[in-house]
Each structure stands twice: as C-alpha cells, then as structure tokens.
C-alpha cells in the first residue's frame, strides 16, 4: 500500500536517515527499484518517488529491491560467502590453516573468496584470522599464571618467537609487557 510522501519522508531520503529505515521504503518509478531511506544510491527526482510501508508492498507493485542497500534485509550472495568464511575461521583459528585450506572448506577458489571477503569486511581472510588470534591472546594473557609459550600454543602459533613478533606488531608491546600492564592496572 502506497503511503503519502511527506516532507519528513523526503528529508529522510535526501539525508540518508538510518533511523527512518524501519518506517518506510521508497520506490523510484523510472528505475523500478525500491530502497531504504539510508540508501547511498543517487538521489532520485522527488516526482519519481513513491513511499511504501514495507518492501513487500513495493514488490507487489512490481518494484525490485535495491542491490546496494538490500531493503528486504536478506543476505546477498557475497555476504553469505563472507559469513561462511568467518564461521570457518572462528572454528579453526587455533589451527595452522592456509588460505587454500580455509577456502576449500567453503568450496570456492582462494582468489575469488579473498577478493570477496576483503570487499565485504575491509580486511583479508588471513588478517581476520590473525585478529581473532590476537584478541584471544589478549584474553588469555589476563591470566597472570599462564606462560607466554602456552598462550602462543593455545591460539595456534607453533613457535613463541613468532607469536611474540605478531603480538608486538598488533598491540605495540610484547605479550609479557601487556601482561604486566594489566597487572599494574589491577593493583
């Protein structure tokens, strides 16, 4: 069911108001596409815009959902791949897995999935794995009695020196210094 175009609706579209996303969708009659108010697509002419209560109403009138803002909230094909990769990395980040091994579990090519993951998340698959490892290391280092060697092994590093090098690069200090700084804050 179409809704009357108010000045507030139009301003929400013009200023890409995320807060209005749950209030309505707008459809553009010239492109036959409907979007959320927060969509970053080119601003249509006001006279070409219809307002709908929901995406299903716009679908019923023959409009298709925008690929940019995804007004129906369904995951795109790329998002589905990205979620699958993240799940695999979460399951296996403690193991020494290569990019080829991770992507083979997704049944995709390393080159394609690497590009896709970086486009969706802003970082590479291996950088994501590294980030998870460093975050887990920081949690484990809060345990004062846990030796650095054990922390390194628990998060998937074969050698302590390799872990220390990566930790220092990520946090700007060695794991021991990080552990001591946490102890100093507690006291």
Global pTM value: 0.60
Considering the candidates 35, 39, 66, 69, report the single residue annotated as catalytic. Answer: 35
Is position 138 within any domain? yes
Q: At residue 184, does pLDDT exceed 80?
A: no
Residue 160's domain spans which residues? 133-186
Of 141 and 74, the structure prediction assigns the larger pLDDT to 141
Looking at the fold, whether 115 and 137 belong to one and the same domain comes out as no
Is position 71 within any domain? no
Is position 70 within any domain? no
Can you give the pLDDT at residue 187? Answer: 61
66 a catalytic residue = no
Confidence of residue 1 (pLDDT cuts 50, 70, 90): low
Angstrom distances, CA of residue 111 to CA of 103, 118, 124, 131, 163: 9, 11, 11, 21, 27
- Interval 22-45 mean pLDDT: 92
| CATH code (residue 29) | 3.40.10.10
Q: At residue 185, does pLDDT exceed 80?
A: no
- Interval 104-125 mean pLDDT: 90
Looking at the fold, whether 9 and 43 belong to one and the same domain comes out as yes
Question: Total domain count for the chain?
Answer: 3
């Amino acid at each position: 069911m179409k809704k009357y175009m108010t000045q507030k609706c139009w301003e929400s579209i013009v200023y890409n108001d995320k807060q209005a996303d749950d209030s309505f969708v707008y459809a553009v009659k010239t492109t036959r596409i409907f979007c959320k108010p927060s969509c970053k697509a080119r601003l249509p002419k006001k006279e070409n815009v219809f307002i709908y209560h929901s995406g299903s109403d716009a679908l019923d009138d023959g409009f298709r959902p925008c690929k940019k803002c995804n007004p129906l909230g369904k995951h795109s094909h790329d998002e589905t791949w990205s979620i699958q990769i993240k799940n695999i990395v979460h399951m296996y980040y403690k193991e020494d897995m290569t990019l080829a091994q991770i992507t083979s579990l997704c049944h995709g090519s390393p080159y394609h999935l690497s590009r896709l993951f970086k486009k969706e998340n802003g970082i590479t698959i291996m950088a994501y794995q590294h980030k998870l490892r460093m975050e887990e290391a920081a949690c484990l280092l809060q345990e004062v009695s846990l030796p650095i060697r054990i922390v390194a092994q628990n998060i998937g590093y074969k050698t302590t020196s390799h872990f220390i090098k990566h930790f220092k690069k990520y946090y700007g200090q060695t794991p021991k210094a990080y552990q001591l700084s946490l102890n100093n804050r507690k006291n």
